[in-house]
Structure 1
């Protein structure tokens, strides 16, 4: 076995209970394994076991045995294990330490005294298709590009095992598929053992060999990918979704008593299985109406971009344009999704609304007032921005303190009651006294959303709100947005989560290279295949199934698709 974990129990310092409980797992050499489970189930801690970070860095209560390539991690320094296991953290920014891309990727082999450190960096960058970025400044890259650089840094030592905590958490769908294609190449052509923490079932179905489910710090089972994804009801009890084509098939069988030849787990299988059902309805009108976004009869304008352009001054004296002549009007009651590839300008647009960036040209109005001279502190009474990196919102040494911070500083009446309710809504009561920086990724996200919600904004801006979240937490976010309707006029989300867009948004603004390509309802955006290709966005799997089966207008949900196909 490449990896053998036997009866490991571990408790973090100060934690009330173990994060890992008598955990055992065997991973053969050359496997491609997905770790799944609720946020807080122990997935990240399991990955830390493989690198020796537990128990050498986090020196809590540890019992059990971990063998990596036959080496006992308890008896081996982390520096030595790093040559066996390449690890990309969920907070990958902490791994970026040098200014230029090639220097950062070469950092580990250089510090190990490897004479070929430059070649190792070049090889790693080539393997990930990043050679063109080698001379770029790391801090000038998009979040997705930085994530890939961190992965290249892990590859530079040529480890036999690659562990990636949420490999596509900040990538657009096109780049996400590219990353998995690279991991697939490392797995198949170079014999690497790949271990990923993943919430996206489509990538698990397409690329992984086996799936290990973690429940309350233990491995409930470790199964081949098809067998694992067939456990639809069990996974649903743990708030884990299977691919949409699988859910369509399961719904057709369970609810509509259809007799399918097999249950698909991949899109191409779904097309074959569902083609006879779609063909039987050829020429019929689709019962799902498509409607372009239409404003209320008397729309209240919350914010407006008028001819806004922006660029950044790079360290080499060059300019990089990020927004080009943006004209947008945001109205009360809208749920707006900003979509587009990495670097399209989504995060910059949000920062400008919050007053953290000033446009080089044009102006931004909030409730009719030009905010050019407004400080972020003044705008915070009206606009709340929840950052893509939730750690940036933690100031105090406890979650309760962080959630209460803004309210106490602004002397909001009844602030304690507001905090109490937020802790309940976001399932933070049990961890309210813990330091936010020591939580799992999903717990951090919930805490950051609670902080934003407690500000009671009129305009709420969320940057990648569902990144790193399981289904349960994702649904909590949507429920939270609904609860805010009394004091939030408009919500704007920048996201790569196309299922969230399809389920939640009333309006989709598509950005490409800082320009608006489209501004329409979700069905109209996802039904335009030329636009999808140009904008480098992947619609939800059920939408791509609609397009493959020539169903128009496209379906946006599993329930809609199952009902349509079953009505023969």
Structure 2
């Protein structure tokens, strides 16, 4: 057979060059005893949707800051290895030049909003780069995200979800090839969290953008991502397709990463019924996959409907004669706008909180949850009405006086660091109040929250999850009567989340009432004994956690989505729906779950069904 010249010169199809290539990358922060990154090798192809997972402090954010030049141009330290981004050697580039290729939306996205209106923000980057079409670029970015109708809105008027999209639009206006989002859902209500991921999915599929997210919430990883990069102690342990990654339950558990609730439900049900589980077993990772799995099994709805009905509307545990620790009486609060009109945030609220309450404040961004906490702490004072906290009217009491009774942990953790080390921050209140023997108590808190290796570090230089743990330690050191926490589980890995609730339980002699503003519906389902749904500054519903998920209209109005296991229960027709994996497994298997299986999960870092 004769070979022609054309055949000799014809080339085989070549795989596209990687858009990100890291080879043997290492980095160490100044003053740190250990490497933040070491021996990191990573290749990402154009158009991939990648999740980076790992425990707090594993190096996720540090890795991503190497991709846009923040390391080493802004965060100085010892960097070695090769970082190539879209054909550019990052070592030869600046943050400015790399921003044309890489968009970065930070976990604290509000801090990167620098202009007064949405359109100004979206157009700001191309204007500063000297693009003549900067207006068109800004409008195009807003249109891509479906928020062009907000272009004339002031930034301070936006909800959290709208601010997040605006920050993303500002980054998109330079038409980057890579979009990195650090903890997309950490500060958002469930509805807006899903909306952000829908927009990222659209940018990936319709516009071919390479998407990288740092994420603890594996249910979002399951629904949207292609691959998972697992980080551990500053290096990459493995890179796997998403279903294989989330089916690696034992490995994830050992690193305090919770697989999707539906994945755990299948795993636990099979273990209880002695179904053989090979090492390479691929489990359902989405609700729809789990519905098909359980519907194909022999369990009947009749078996699945028996469940405790121990909840009633309202706060059943409170005695009517008990004097409340916190009492709102026709309280209203608002702030002046630039037109000097009052923008209402809390509207004519009357409600009481009692000893023993474990209260979850839920609702969409902008509902008034954080403002309610600030009113209780004395940081804000009512425009109208009376608010009494631990026997003191807040109109007459200073925040300093109230701090003897109330500990308030901010939503943005960096706002709580005033010293140059975590230990000094934790000790600050006790020393200021003249407590002589505070050191053993501080030692205990720092050890329990896994902060001992970090206690001499500046809190502002820690990862987001480490900052959350540090602020919790600061608040607990105050030994408060009323503990207020604003989004305490945002950015926390499973171990830190469990330690937080364990610590609160251990301090029940000191903390009489705990009020948490949260978007974490799993925490609501498993921790709270009272749930207050807020909408537009008012109480839309005051109930218990099991009754909450029956109020479909209220949930939709407040932008709330039930936990994955609750949604699975509802799709399978279970009434009442389950609140935890343990409850679901117990009902599905008729109580066959074994104590040996429970102890195995406890050893791996979280109790079965604790997700």
Return the TM-score normalized by structure 2. 0.90
Q: Secondary structure at the match of 1:30?
A: coil
In structure 1, which of residues 275, 287, 303 is the aligned counterpart of residue 295 of structure 2?
275
> C-alpha distance in 1, partners of 2:154/2:349?
27
**1:310 aligned residue:** 333
1:103-502 equivalent positions in 2, closer than 5 A: 103-258=120-275, 263-277=283-297, 280-282=300-302, 285-292=305-312, 293-297=315-319, 299-502=322-525
Question: Deviation at 1:335?
Answer: 0.3
Report the CA distance shift for 1:373/1:278 in structure 2 as closer, same or farther (over 3 A).
farther
Matched, 1:554 2:577: yes
| C-alpha contact 1:503 1:557 (8 A) present in aligned 2 | yes
Of the structure 1 ranges 474-483 and 129-138, higher mean CA displacement relative to structure 2 is found in: 129-138
> C-alpha distance in 2, partners of 1:423/1:279?
47
> C-alpha distance in 2, partners of 1:15/1:144?
35
> C-alpha distance in 1, partners of 2:328/2:140?
44
| C-alpha contact 2:364 2:560 (8 A) present in aligned 1 | yes
Matched, 1:532 2:578: no
| C-alpha contact 2:23 2:41 (8 A) present in aligned 1 | yes
In structure 2, which of residues 527, 530, 535 is the aligned counterpart of residue 512 of structure 1?
535
Report the CA distance shift for 1:57/1:283 in structure 2 as closer, same or farther (over 3 A).
closer
**2:15 aligned residue:** none
Of the structure 1 ranges 359-368 and 18-27, higher mean CA displacement relative to structure 2 is found in: 359-368
Question: Deviation at 1:369?
Answer: 3.4
Q: Secondary structure at the match of 1:486?
A: coil
| C-alpha contact 1:128 1:179 (8 A) present in aligned 2 | no
Question: Deviation at 1:549?
Answer: 1.2
Measured against aligned partners, the alpha-carbon deviations of 1:472-514 in whole angstroms (never above 9, x if no partner) come to 1111111111111010110000000000111100000001111
| C-alpha contact 1:278 1:565 (8 A) present in aligned 2 | no
Residue segments in structure 1 that go unaligned for 5+ positions in a row: none
Return the index of the structure with the highest Cα Rg.
Answer: 2
> C-alpha distance in 1, partners of 2:20/2:192?
29
Q: Secondary structure at the match of 1:443?
A: helix
| C-alpha contact 1:290 1:553 (8 A) present in aligned 2 | no
Report the CA distance shift for 1:112/1:533 in structure 2 as closer, same or farther (over 3 A).
same
| C-alpha contact 2:305 2:574 (8 A) present in aligned 1 | no
> C-alpha distance in 1, partners of 2:31/2:492?
25
Aligned length: 568
> C-alpha distance in 2, partners of 1:102/1:257?
59
Question: Deviation at 1:277?
Answer: 4.8
| C-alpha contact 1:290 1:524 (8 A) present in aligned 2 | no
CA RMSD of aligned residues (A): 1.7
Return the TM-score normalized by structure 1. 0.97
Q: Secondary structure at the match of 2:460?
A: helix
**2:104 aligned residue:** 87
| C-alpha contact 2:183 2:491 (8 A) present in aligned 1 | yes
| C-alpha contact 2:345 2:368 (8 A) present in aligned 1 | yes
Question: Deviation at 1:65?
Answer: 0.2
